[in-house]
Amino acid sequence: MAMAKEGNATSAEATAMVKKAVAFIKASGKDKGYSEISTKGGQFSDRDLYVTVYGMDGMVRAHGANEKMIGKNLIELKDVDGKAFVKERVELAAAKGTFWQDYKFTNPVSKKIEPKSMYCEKLDDAIICGGIYK
């Protein structure tokens, strides 16, 4: 059950949720982990904060806000400023493993394009991310 809090999620909440998702995937396996992450209103969704999982090829494996994205390769997806943020995310995961990334994306609560900062951790061949809107 999602927590009943007001306002936008914080960077500390995003980091904690990603770490919780990584631990859940490690304990339960990818299939159960990805399914739980993609459950709207589940434990990996809180206000404007949700978890996404990408493969190192840019394929969406789980998405906490939009299940229609699962199975789509978004490696070429660009934000409103032309930033290929999924490609950059894959490159950052390969180089750093754990990182924050800034880009612009539609906030599922406000439905407006807003600056977003995404915290990501690489787990095997996947990138587990959760972000905050600024």
Return the biggest CA–CA distance within the chain.
38
Q: Please, are residues 116 and 52 in contact by the beta-carbon 8 Å criterion?
A: no
CATH architecture label of 11-133: 2-Layer Sandwich (3.30)
Tens digits of residue pLDDT in 81-122:
999 999 999 999 999 999 999 999 988 888 999 999 999 999
Whether 5 has a pLDDT exceeding 80, the answer reads no
**Where are the domains positioned within the chain?**
11-133
Whether 3 has a pLDDT exceeding 50, the answer reads no
Strands (E) across the chain are located at: 45-46, 49-55, 60-63, 98-106, 113-123, 126-133
Q: Which of 4-8, 41-45, 99-103 is predicted most confidently?
A: 99-103
Predicted TM-score of the model (pTM)? 0.91
Number of residues that this document lists for the chain: 134
- HSE on the CB side for 103, CA within 13 Å? 21
